């Protein structure tokens, strides 16, 4: 289906230790996390909150287990007045760290005025003005130029509770930004959560897609999220996300479309759950087997 060696498999540590909810997996060590990843058959990892930020420490720990860093999240705040300079400075620091680790992709997401971490319903977001959209587009193009100069890639991650959550907003951002500077991360779970079809996003943006998060949804939990107007973090604790093959999303046409579009890069399994309810190693193995059975990778 995919060209040989064109796609590599990573998994996010958020299933072991949650960045947004430190109480989930707070007892799980960095070493256990990466040991489990390797045991489950993955060769890549994203960055977690327990990962050493010193490449001289982190790189050997990963290499001992046959792992490398695939990508990592970065929050931008271009929509908030006066924060562009700070955002760019922090971006350069973060990008240089990833570059030192041998990674090429930065997962960028505009988090100005977002409600992702709040207690309200994830769909009750502020409205952003045309001027704010222009500020964000200009900022993303700027750090896109910095990435290009450093042989790095910025893949925009639409995300629940943030400025760009659904397909309509993704379309607007893609139209406002330079396709050579601002690429796209497809997250199957967040697309479905927002009420969109991840397959249609792949079909629409194929060549612009430079990273893929494989995340499934438990539809019965999502229905509860909507009916109960739950916050994003409460939905995570309730178990709305799971690994591919364990939820309601049909991944076969998504894999096929990505292959047809010539996707090259990482598949990152990212399914934040409570590790006391969903054993991370067990679910990592489920995901690994599912990808093998459905892609041959």
pLDDT band at 274 (very low <50, low <70, confident <90, very high): very high
Query: Mind listing the pLDDT tens digit for each residue in 6-32?
Result: 999 999 999 999 988 888 888 999 999
Give the separation between CA 46 and CA 13, rounded to whole angstroms: 7
Backbone φ and ψ of 30, nearest 5°: -55, -45
Please check the confidence at residue 3 and state whether its pLDDT lies above 90.
Answer: no
Q: Which residue ranges make up each domain of the chain?
A: 7-295
Listed in order, strand segments (DSSP E) in the chain are 7-11, 44-45, 68-69, 71-76, 105-110, 153-157, 183-187, 209-214, 216-217, 241-242, 265-269
Q: Which of 207, 236, 203, 206 is nearest to 221 (CA)?
A: 236
Rg (CA), the chain: 18
**Which pLDDT score is estimated for 153?**
98
pLDDT band at 202 (very low <50, low <70, confident <90, very high): very high
**What does the block give as tokens for 229?**
């107007």
Question: If you average pLDDT over every residue of the chain, what do you get?
Answer: 96
Backbone φ and ψ of 87, nearest 5°: -65, -45
Query: Mind listing the pLDDT tens digit for each residue in 35-80?
Result: 999 999 999 999 999 999 999 999 999 999 999 999 999 999 999 9
Please check the confidence at residue 117 and state whether its pLDDT lies above 90.
Answer: no
With beta carbons less than 8 A apart as the criterion, state whether 216 and 246 touch: yes
Q: What is the pTM of this model?
A: 0.97
CATH class of 7-295: alpha beta
**Which pLDDT score is estimated for 212?**
98
Strands of the sheet with 68-69, listed across from one edge: 68-69, 44-45, 7-11, 265-269, 209-214, 183-187, 153-157, 105-110, 71-76
Give the separation between CA 283 and CA 274, rounded to whole angstroms: 11
3-state helix, strand, coil in the chain (%, to 5): 45, 15, 40
With beta carbons less than 8 A apart as the criterion, state whether 194 and 166 touch: yes
Give the separation between CA 224 and CA 243, rounded to whole angstroms: 19
Give the separation between CA 170 and CA 4, rounded to whole angstroms: 31
């Amino acid at each position: 289906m995919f060209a040989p060696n064109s796609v590599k498999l990573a998994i996010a540590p958020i299933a072991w230790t949650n960045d947004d909810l430190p109480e989930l997996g707070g007892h799980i060590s960095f070493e256990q996390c990466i040991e489990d990843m390797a045991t489950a058959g993955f060769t890549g990892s994203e960055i977690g909150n327990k990962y050493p930020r010193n490449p001289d420490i982190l790189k050997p720990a990963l290499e001992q287990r046959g792992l490398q860093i695939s990508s990592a999240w970065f929050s931008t705040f271009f929509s908030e007045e006066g924060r562009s300079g700070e955002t760019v400075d922090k971006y350069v620091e973060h990008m240089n760290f990833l570059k030192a680790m041998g990674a090429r992709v930065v997962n960028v997401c505009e988090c100005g005025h977002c409600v992702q971490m709040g207690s309200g319903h994830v769909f009750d977001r502020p409205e952003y003005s045309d001027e704010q959209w222009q500020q964000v587009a200009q900022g993303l193009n700027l750090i896109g130029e910095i990435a290009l100069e450093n042989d790095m890639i910025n893949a925009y991650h639409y995300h629940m509770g943030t400025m760009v959550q659904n397909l309509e907003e993704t379309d607007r951002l893609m139209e406002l930004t330079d396709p050579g500077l601002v690429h796209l991360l497809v997250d199957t779970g967040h697309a479905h959560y927002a009420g969109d079809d991840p397959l249609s996003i792949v079909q629409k943006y194929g060549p612009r897609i430079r990273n893929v998060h494989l995340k499934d949804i438990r539809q019965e939990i999502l229905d509860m999220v909507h009916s109960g107007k739950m916050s994003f973090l409460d939905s995570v604790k309730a178990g709305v996300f799971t690994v591919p093959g364990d939820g309601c999303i049909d991944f076969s046409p998504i894999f096929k479309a990505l292959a047809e579009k010539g996707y090259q890069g990482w598949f990152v399994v990212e399914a934040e759950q409570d590790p006391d309810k969903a054993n991370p190693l067990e679910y990592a193995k489920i995901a690994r087997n599912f990808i093998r059975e459905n892609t041959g990778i």
